Structure 1
Amino acid sequence: MQRSIILIIMASLSDRTTPEVVSYPMKNARMRMLILCLAGTGLIALVLFLAAGTVRYWQAWVYLAVNGIAAVPYVRYLLDNPRLLEARMKAGPIAEQRSVQKGITLLGFISIVVAFIVPGLDDRFGWSNVPPWLVVTGDLLIVAGMLMVYRVVKENPFGAATVGVVEDQRVVSTGPYGVVRNPMYASALVYLIGMPLALGSYWTLIPSALTVLGLVWRLLDEENFLAQNLPGYTEYCTRVRWHLVPLIF
C-alpha cells in the first residue's frame, strides 16, 4: 500500500489518461501489486527508522499503521479492476513519454524521499515538538487523503499514472471532477499536509511543500496537454474553474 502512496505523492498520478489492456493474467497482476505494497511499506519503514536511529519512534509506527489501513479500500479496488491496476502500476520517470513529465516525476520522487528522511532526523535530534493532538490531526488527514484517492479512482475508469491520450479516451466531469479539475492531486495535497504532522516533524513541511509545487507544475502541464489533445477538455475547463482547491486555485 505504501508504494501506491509514493506514486501519489511523487505526482506520478494522472486524472484523465486511459489504461492499456492488461498484458498478463489478473492473478499475476494482483501478486505483483501485493509484493510491491509490502516492499514499499518495508522500504519506507527502513528509511524512517534508520534516519531516526531507533525503532522507538511512535509517530512513525502510527503513521505506517494508519496509512496502511486507510489504503485498503483503494488497493482492493485496484485488485478487483485489473486494467486499472495495470495502468496505475506503470508509473515513474521511465513510464512517462514526454521529457517534461519525466523531469517533473523524477524531481517529485527525490522530494518525497527527502520527505521520509527528514522526519526521522527530526525525531533523532529533537528539532520539532509537535503535540500529540496535532500528530493525530495529521493521521486524520492521511485517512482523508487516501479515502479521496479511492473516491477518485472509482469515479474515473481512465485513471492511469502517466500523462497521455488514447483513442477511446473521454473527459470525466462527474463526482469530484465536477468540483476541481484534478481531484487526484487534491487528494495528494491533503495527504502532503498531513504527513509531516503525522510524523511529528515541522521541518518535513519544507520537502512536502516542494512536492506540492511539483504537483502544481505537473497539473498545469497536463492540463495544457489535454486541452490540445483531448476533445471536450477545453469546454470542461470553462465549466470547472478550479485546478486544485475550490475558491483558491
Structure 2
Amino acid sequence: MVYARNMKKMFNELMRGGDISTARVITRFILGFGLIAAILFGTAGTFNWPEAWTYIIVQFTYSLRMTLWLKKHDPALLKSRMRVLNPSMQQRDKLFALLFTLLFIPFLLLPGLDAIRFGWSDMPLAIEIIGFAGVSWALWLILRVMQENSFASPIVEIQRERNHQVIDSGPYAYVRHPMYTGFITMNICLPLALGSLWTLPFGILLSSIFLIRIRFEEKTLQDELQGYSDYCQRVRFRLLPGVW
C-alpha cells in the first residue's frame, strides 16, 4: 500500500512539474523513449529495423543535449516543458492537445506496420536519407529555439510573472514561429526517414493544426504582449522566409 502511494505521488509529480531533479529527468527519459521504442518495434514485430534505431538514437541525442542545457541554464523553461498537466491551460489549448494526440497515435503506430510488418511502402534509400537530414535539422532548430527563448511555453500564455518579453534574436530574427517550423519539418520528414508513405498524410494533418494554432496564438500575443505588433512588422514571415 505504501509503495502504491509512493508510485502515485511520483507519477503526479512527473505529470504536474515540481522540482527538476536529475532522477526525475532520467525517469521521464526512460518512460518517454521506452514508450516510443515499444510502439515502433512492437508494431514492426521485430527489432531488426535500422531506420527506427537511427531515429531513436538521433532523437535521444538531441533531447538529452537540450535537457542538460536547460537544466543548467534555464530550469524554469525545463519545468514548463516537462509539465503535462497545466492548470492555466485554456480550452483551445486543451482542444489542440486532444487533436494532436488523436493524430499522433496513428503517426506512431503506422510506420512499423507499413514499412516493416506488411511492407506496403517501398521507400528509396535516398528519400530516407533526405528524411533523416530533415529530422536532424528540425531537432537542431528546436534546440536553438529553446536556447534563445526562455518563454517557449507549451501552451499559449503571457508569462507576466517572468516579465515576458518579445524575442527577436536567433531563429526569431528570420521567422516568428521557428519552433513550429521545426515541428512541421519533423512531422513531414520522419515518415520519410522511417520508410512509410502511409504515415505521411498524418504528418501533414499534424502540421495543419499547428497552422491553425498560429492564428490564435498571434492574436493573443498581439493583444497582450507589448512590442509584439512591432515585431510582426519587422519580421514578416511566420514559418518560412519569403513564403509564409
Common fold: TM-score over 0.5: yes
Deviations 1:91-118 (CA, angstroms, capped at 9, x unpaired)? 46x5562111210121112212211101
- Residue 52, structure 1, aligned to residue 47, structure 2: no
How far apart are 1:229 and its partner, in Å? 1.1
Task: Look up the SS of the partner of 1:204 in the other structure.
Answer: helix
User: Which TM-score applies when normalising by structure 2?
Assistant: 0.86
Match of 1:145 among 138, 141, 153: 138
Q: Distance in 2 between matches of 1:59 and 1:24?
A: 36
Counterpart of 2:111?
A: 119
Q: Name whichever of 176-185 and 189-198 sits farther off.
A: 189-198
Deviations 1:156-200 (CA, angstroms, capped at 9, x unpaired)? 122222111132111111111111110111111221222001111
How far apart are 1:31 and its partner, in Å? 2.3
Match of 2:121 among 113, 124, 128: 128
Query: What is the identity percentage for the equivalent residue pairs of Structure 1 and Structure 2?
Result: 33
Letter in 1 for 2:44: A
- Residue 201, structure 1, aligned to residue 199, structure 2: no
Task: Give yes or no for contact 1:181–1:243 (8 Å, CA) kept in 2.
Answer: yes
1:1-249 alignment, distance < 5 Å: 24-26=18-20, 28=21, 30-80=22-72, 81-91=74-84, 97-122=89-114, 123-167=116-160, 168-249=163-244
Cα distance change, pair 223–200 in 1 and its aligned pair in 2 (3 A): same
Q: Distance in 2 between matches of 1:73 and 1:147?
A: 10
Cα distance change, pair 95–118 in 1 and its aligned pair in 2 (3 A): farther
Task: Give yes or no for contact 2:19–2:79 (8 Å, CA) kept in 1.
Answer: no
- The structure whose RCO (Cα within 8 Å, separation 6+) is larger is 1
Q: Distance in 2 between matches of 1:181 and 1:245?
A: 9
Letter in 2 for 1:231: Q
User: Which TM-score applies when normalising by structure 1?
Assistant: 0.84
Letter in 1 for 2:110: V
Which of the pair is proportionally richer in helix?
A: 2
Q: Distance in 2 between matches of 1:65 and 1:157?
A: 26
Q: Distance in 1 between matches of 2:63 and 2:187?
A: 15
Higher radius of gyration, 1 or 2: 2
Letter in 2 for 1:164: E
Letter in 1 for 2:90: R
Cα distance change, pair 215–132 in 1 and its aligned pair in 2 (3 A): same
Task: Give yes or no for contact 1:119–1:200 (8 Å, CA) kept in 2.
Answer: yes
Task: Give yes or no for contact 2:104–2:206 (8 Å, CA) kept in 1.
Answer: yes
Task: Give yes or no for contact 1:90–1:162 (8 Å, CA) kept in 2.
Answer: no
Q: Distance in 2 between matches of 1:96 and 1:119?
A: 35
Q: Distance in 2 between matches of 1:25 and 1:175?
A: 29
Residue correspondences, number:
225
